[in-house]
Amino acid sequence: MTDRLNRRRVLRLIGFGAALLPLRPQSAQALAATRRLRFENLHTGESAAVEYWADGGYLGDAIRRINHLLRDHRTGDVHAIDLRLLDLLHRLREALSTDAPFQIISGYRSPRTNAMLHDRSDGVARNSLHTDGLAVDIRVPSRPLRLVRDAALSLKSGGVGYYAGSDFVHVDVGRVRSW
């Protein structure tokens, strides 16, 4: 009888513990007090270190600053960058164990710019996620390009394109895929 009671007690405790699992944070990022990114736009020469998330929320002025920094450098058009993309970059920075800036090759692209680039190159998608603020082409000066690609792939958070010949990695928050 004592063995049966002990087993029941153990099973109840296990059930109680399992019921609490959804209450615990799902990632270290959920516990982070702040999220910070550094950027260097290679086309405009602008750079910034931006704390874009603090005390449980996104910081509007910081998000606007990032949107401006990642604008279409050809037209000057500014578009909202998806917050999931910023969080992906934050996680990528942590995976790479670096505080180096993301060098921006291409952030937001206006539909006009994207159409022009698509006409010039097979490597530019007609309906690129760049036109919705869902993608960015980057390099990280302190890390080999292949390492940046591998770290992005390990996050399984969207698309990852490896452009070794052009010296950049594309990351987006679309469906998980790679090329």
**In-domain check, residue 7:** no
Which residue's structure tokens are 């019921």? 19
Predicted model pTM: 0.81
**In-domain check, residue 20:** no
- Confidence (pLDDT) at 108: 98
10 Å CB burial of residue 170 (0-12, 13-18, 19+) is buried
Decide which of 19 and 135 is more confident: 135
3-state secondary structure of 62: helix
**In-domain check, residue 125:** yes
**In-domain check, residue 1:** no
Q: Looking at the 3D structure of the chain, how many domains does it have?
A: 1
Q: Strands 177-178, 159-163: parallel, antiparallel or unpaired by DSSP?
A: parallel
- Confidence (pLDDT) at 61: 98
Q: Strands 102-106, 168-172: parallel, antiparallel or unpaired by DSSP?
A: unpaired
pLDDT in tens, 52-97: 999 999 999 999 999 999 999 999 999 999 999 999 999 999 999 9
Asked if pLDDT for residue 167 goes beyond 60, the answer is yes
Q: Which domain holds residue 58?
A: 30-178
CATH code: domain of residue 159: 3.30.1380.10
**In-domain check, residue 6:** no
**In-domain check, residue 150:** yes
Of the candidates 176, 88, 165, the residue with the CA atom closest to the CA atom of residue 133 = 88
**In-domain check, residue 19:** no
Tokens of 38: 């550094």
Asked if pLDDT for residue 114 goes beyond 60, the answer is yes
Percent helix / strand / coil, the chain, rounded to 5: 45, 20, 35
Which residue's structure tokens are 């998330």? 53
**In-domain check, residue 132:** yes
- Confidence (pLDDT) at 21: 40
pLDDT in tens, 7-50: 555 455 455 444 444 333 444 545 568 999 999 999 999 999 99
- Confidence (pLDDT) at 123: 81
